[in-house]
């Protein structure tokens, strides 16, 4: 006999509010007779993911004389933003963004990376997505309103600090996983949606997700973060930032250039989203427009989003650059190092255009933005008939969205228009357990072995190759653009008079791998890719400082 569970809340007008998840549980959602109105709430698909690991407010160091800071402590989106260099004059040699407070009109002083992290997910106008603007001018106006919700509202000063303080939980968990030699995404998986509920409260909602705060309202209509819609949102914000940079050049006031950088940081949130596999081909907007319940479409998008983030996608750009892009929760995983480098490069290019507009008083047109040639080719990655990637869960075709016939077979290249949102969601919740895509490489089961007599130097080389430090290694299998996760780490070896070791790196016993990537980790630092070996080679010398 099924248990009876009370709804989460009943409003004064008699409306029953409950979470959509409970529709698919044994208890269900009790509805007291005909005529009752049920309001369903979900947690959206912007929970613990690609861009939520941000440090809390800190005293920003002076530009000179401060020691180095490990970027992994800033998290995903914040690390992307804070890894760039900012310039303020033609003779300026540049300053790391994490050292520069950008002062906003309402008194907030945030780093570039903090604004990247807050933009779009926490601040914006829920009923006015930027990309829904009918013209470029309207999209710029919508972007300005979204940015001003962070930059000009007095209430945002206190609220933003509270949001960033909650994010410290993610930082600590991810840092601990990295230091333990585990993939950072495992820490995010353990956190689940717990922080989302706290952010919902901070932004005006309830502790159970009911009522919706701004955070969850934005998540419910967040196609600004996906595919071509993200391109429109970024270009609107980048255009506004360039216009502000030109004004700053005329005024000569640093605060005006800081505002231009802050606007661009908000826009770069959408730009950096386009390097997350789950944001490239998920038809977020089309699912919302074609599925009866907006919340059902949000859940369906989340399944595809998480699938593409987990397994990643092979992508390319117009410069004939090819790579594999993982997604949310995996920015610091060893498999995503190539994607991590590329998103850092494109965000720096975006920042450089702001400074050049400030310096020279002119701005490129949207067709001339550096991002155009550096972004993944969305048309190519969204081509469901291409065998470059496994089969997408959903495919947009005009006003119709097709679904993969076998939800659990990533290699099933058959799609159907004969499906319903609610029944598909029930099927996913009950039995979703996808197989591995073709070309998937299982990680090694062994670690590299350090040769006792293979040390190449007996001269310390600061800052890492010094007595008292310790080092360990792991490796992954590679085959073209495909790469496995790293296998187990070797034990830490204490450094004492010997440095730069020689490793024995076993080959793939299955014969699928054509090479191996070698990763090094010094004690209390994040892992680093230090080299590769091809098939047939089992010896590797670590020569990197």
Tell me what the mean pLDDT of segment 439-448 comes to.
Answer: 96
Report the C-alpha gap between 475 and 422 in whole angstroms: 43
**What's the pLDDT tens digit per position in 93-104?**
999 999 999 999
Report the C-alpha gap between 124 and 113 in whole angstroms: 17
Residue 294: its pLDDT value, please?
77
**What's the pLDDT tens digit per position in 205-238?**
999 889 999 999 999 999 999 999 999 999 999 9
Report the C-alpha gap between 445 and 489 in whole angstroms: 10
Residues 6+ away with beta carbon under 8 Å from 19: 8, 40, 41, 42, 43, 208, 209, 210
**What's the pLDDT tens digit per position in 370-382?**
999 999 999 999 9
Secondary structure (DSSP) of 166-212:
HHHHHHHHHHHHHHTT--HHHHHHHHTTHHHHHHHHHTT--TTS-S-
pLDDT confidence bin for 524, thresholds 50/70/90: confident
Buried (b) or exposed (e) across 30-67, using 16+ Cβ within 10 A?
A: eeeeeeeeeebbbbbbbbbbbbbbbbeeeeeeeeeeee
- Consecutive H or E run containing 483: strand 482-483
| Beta-carbon-side half-sphere exposure of residue 41 (alpha carbons within 13 Å) | 24
Has this prediction a pTM greater than 0.85?
Answer: yes
R_g (Cα) of the chain, nearest Å = 24
Tell me what the mean pLDDT of segment 135-151 comes to.
Answer: 98
Tell me what the mean pLDDT of segment 117-141 comes to.
Answer: 97
């Amino acid at each position: 006999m099924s248990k009876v569970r009370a709804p989460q809340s009943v409003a004064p007008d008699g409306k029953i509010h409950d979470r959509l998840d409970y529709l698919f549980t044994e208890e269900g959602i009790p509805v007291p007779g005909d005529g009752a109105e049920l309001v369903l709430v979900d947690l959206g698909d912007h929970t613990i993911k690609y861009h939520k690991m941000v440090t809390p407010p800190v005293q920003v160091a002076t530009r000179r004389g401060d020691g180095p800071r490990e970027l992994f402590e800033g998290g995903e989106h914040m690390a992307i933003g804070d890894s760039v260099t900012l310039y303020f004059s033609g003779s300026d040699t540049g300053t790391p963004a994490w050292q520069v407070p950008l002062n906003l009109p309402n008194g907030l002083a945030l780093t570039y990376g903090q604004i990247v992290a807050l933009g779009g997910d926490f601040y914006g106008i829920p009923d006015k997505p930027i990309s829904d603007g009918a013209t470029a001018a309207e999209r710029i106006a919508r972007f300005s309103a979204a940015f001003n919700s962070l930059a000009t509202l007095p209430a945002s000063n206190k609220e933003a600090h509270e949001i960033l303080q909650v994010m410290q939980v993610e930082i600590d968990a991810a840092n601990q996983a990295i230091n333990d030699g585990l993939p950072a995404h495992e820490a995010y998986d353990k956190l689940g949606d717990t922080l989302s509920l706290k952010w919902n409260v901070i932004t005006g909602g309830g502790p159970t997700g009911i009522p919706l705060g701004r955070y969850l309202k934005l998540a419910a209509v967040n196609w600004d973060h996906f595919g071509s819609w993200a391109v429109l949102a970024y270009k609107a914000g980048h255009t506004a930032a360039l216009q502000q940079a030109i004004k700053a050049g005329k005024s000569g006031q640093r605060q005006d250039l800081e505002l231009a950088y802050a606007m661009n940081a908000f826009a770069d949130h959408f730009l950096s989203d386009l390097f997350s596999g789950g944001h490239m081909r998920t038809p977020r907007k089309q699912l919302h427009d074609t599925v009866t319940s907006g919340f059902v479409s949000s859940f369906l998008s989340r399944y595809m989003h998480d699938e593409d983030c987990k397994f990643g996608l092979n992508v390319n750009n117009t410069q004939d650059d090819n790579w594999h892009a993982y997604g949310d929760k995996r920015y610091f995983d060893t498999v995503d190092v190539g994607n991590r480098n590329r998103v850092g490069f494109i965000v720096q290019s975006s920042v450089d255009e702001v400074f050049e507009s400030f310096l020279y008083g002119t701005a490129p047109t949207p067709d001339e933005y550096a991002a155009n040639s550096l972004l993944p080719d969305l048309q190519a990655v969204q081509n469901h008939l291409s065998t470059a990637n496994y089969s997408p869960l959903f495919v947009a075709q005009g006003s119709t969205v097709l679904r993969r016939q076998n939800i659990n077979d990533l290699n099933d290249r058959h799609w159907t228009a004969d499906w319903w949102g609610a029944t598909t969601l029930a099927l996913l919740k009950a039995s979703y357990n996808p197989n591995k895509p073709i070309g998937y490489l299982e990680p090694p089961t062994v670690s590299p072995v350090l040769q006792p007599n293979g040390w190449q130097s007996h001269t310390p080389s600061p800052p890492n190759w010094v007595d008292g430090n310790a080092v360990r290694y792991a490796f992954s299998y590679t085959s073209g653009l495909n790469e496995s996760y790293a296998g187990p780490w070797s034990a830490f070896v204490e450094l004492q008079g010997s440095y730069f070791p020689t490793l024995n790196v076993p080959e793939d016993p299955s014969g699928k791998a054509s090479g191996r990537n070698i990763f090094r980790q010094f004690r209390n630092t994040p892992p680093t890719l230090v080299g590769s070996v091809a098939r047939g080679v089992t010896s590797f010398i670590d020569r990197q400082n």
